[in-house]
Amino acid sequence: MSLFSTSDTKTITHEWIRRFTEFPEPHLGSRDASVQGKVVLLTGSTGAVGCHILHALVQRPHVSKVYCLIRQNKKGKSNTTDQRIEEILAENHISEELTPEQRQKITTISYDVQNPCRLGISSEDYETLRKSVNVIVHNAWAVNFVMDISGFEAHCRGTFDLLSLAMQSELKTKPSFVFISTIGAIMNARPFPVQEKLYGFEAALNGTNYTISKWATEQICAAAATSSLSSSPPNGLGTVSIIRLGQICGDTKHGMWNPKEAVPRCLAAGYTIGFIPATASHDETLRWLPSDVTGAAIADIALLDQISTAASAAAMKIPSVAVYHIENSKTCRWHGDVLAALRRHGMTDFKTLPWHEWAERLAQSDSNVLRNPPYRLLRFYQMAAAGREVRAADGADANVRLALDTTQACRVSPRLAEGTVLDDALFGKFLRYWKTQPDWAGQVYAARL
């Protein structure tokens, strides 16, 4: 539970916005990057979505290099950044799909988000980035739904440092900047559909500190674009893109969905406490998007290379700050598709309860998270259940989902407009993968699986 009230959180985040928008004067670059192709700086490449962003980028012929910023090892771990990226690519079955030429595009660089001095990047590497990078994709973030708001300050400062790097580039045309946000940052925005634009603090209210920190960083990115336009002469950033991700699920080929995430752990409760939340009177509509499709869509937006000649970026009039919503245009249902598929694939010994009753049942269950992993996210689930009750008290449908406008995203990434069907076979892949992970349903149930 947060140590801060809503007013405190608002004060803290606005202070971050004030401090982390005092950008340096843009450097008047002299290098021409037009002949080198796209050189991308990517953070978060070892994550569930990040590895697929990397995969999508190196597959593009006009991408000549991808620099992967990888966090410095914790004490006691000796594997290098190169070894870490190789392990991640192998674990996600991406290595087997890469050609030698695509592998050669990947270079790793060690960094430390907690280091206030150029993210702890060595002087030599920093100069290399200044002289070559023309696209920055900032995907790294602490995915922690219970961490106090103060724990996210380093991530906001890290975004400031990356924006400053772009402004200090040696290139004549400064890098474009892509920030990966979340739809949670605008969860309270109204009316529906929520537009692909910036919203005030009220839109982030009642969210987790994770989503509020993302909202604050959206404002920092927007301020960077404004600062660049007002510089004299204008020599700041290229396009600043803010991508709000909806619920991401496992990839289409192998169904690899991190068992520690909220949805997989919620479903694991079907084993650990025998119940899964669901509302009998309403079959919730979902727009989950597989991680590999998400990675490819992010690459489309970062590179703007999937826009047809008839609808060029210039014709579309992409603004200096462009906001995109990424979610699946194809829907599935919680009861009729997800839970039914789990039963067909052998997960039959569970019942359903309304959200608030399920959260209460979880609160009363075994608090040992090794035996009962869903308990680790109890606070998050309680907040989700409380949010539904608040909506119901206000006369709204407690199960209504956030309706998003995705017009701009679908124009830039046609694969989003086409959508991805989530079928019985894919749900089966999810379940089979989770069953191989001992920390999904706990120690006691792992043996039984």
Structure confidence at residue 179 (pLDDT): 98
The CA distance from 261 to 276, in Å, is 15
Rounded CA gap, 141 and 205, in Å? 20
Nearest in space to 259 (alpha carbons), one of 68, 66, 430: 430
Best CA proximity match to 299, nearest among 86, 38, 23: 38
Q: Is 301 helix (H, G, I), strand (E, B) or coil?
A: helix
**C-alpha to C-alpha distance for 435 and 348, rounded to whole angstroms:** 14
Q: Is the pLDDT of residue 419 over 50?
A: yes
What count of other Cβ atoms lies within 10 Å of the Cβ of residue 280? 9
CA diameter of the chain? 67
Measured CA distances, 238 to 29, 169, 172, 222, 429 (Å): 13, 11, 11, 12, 40
Measure the CA–CA gap between 434 and 249, rounded to whole angstroms: 12
Nearest to 403 by CA among 181, 187, 198: 187
Provide the token pair at 92. Answer: 């996600």
Using DSSP's 3-state secondary structure scheme, residue 181 falls into strand
Backbone region of residue 434 per phi and psi (left: phi > 0; alpha: psi in -120 to 50; beta: other values): alpha
User: Span 6-248+290-326: which CATH code?
Assistant: 3.40.50.720
pLDDT at 84 exceeding the cut of 50: yes
Give the integer Cα–Cα distance in Å for 249 and 332: 12
pLDDT at 7: 86
Residue type, 145: F
pLDDT score, position 330: 97
Neighbour-count burial for 375-387, b at 16+ CB within 10 Å, e otherwise:
bebbbbbbbbbeb
Distances, alpha carbon 425 to alpha carbons 222, 338, 341, 430, in Å: 41, 11, 8, 9
Res. 310 pLDDT band, cuts 50 70 90: very low
Residue-wise pLDDT tens digits, 362-418: 999 999 999 999 999 999 999 889 888 776 666 555 455 789 999 999 999 999 999
- Is the CB of residue 52 less than 8 Å from the CB of residue 44? no
pLDDT for the residue 320: 85
How is the chain split into domains, by residue range? 6-248+290-326, 250-285+332-400+421-448
Instruction: Residue 370: count other Cβ atoms within 10 Å of its Cβ.
Output: 13
Residues 352, 353, 354, CA angle at the centre, nearest 5°? 135
How confident is the model at residue 230, as a pLDDT?
A: 58
Alpha carbon distances (Å) from 402 to 32, 185, 186, 442: 43, 12, 9, 32
pLDDT digits over 150-194, tens only? 999 999 999 999 999 999 999 998 999 999 999 999 999 999 999
pLDDT at residue 309 tops 80: no
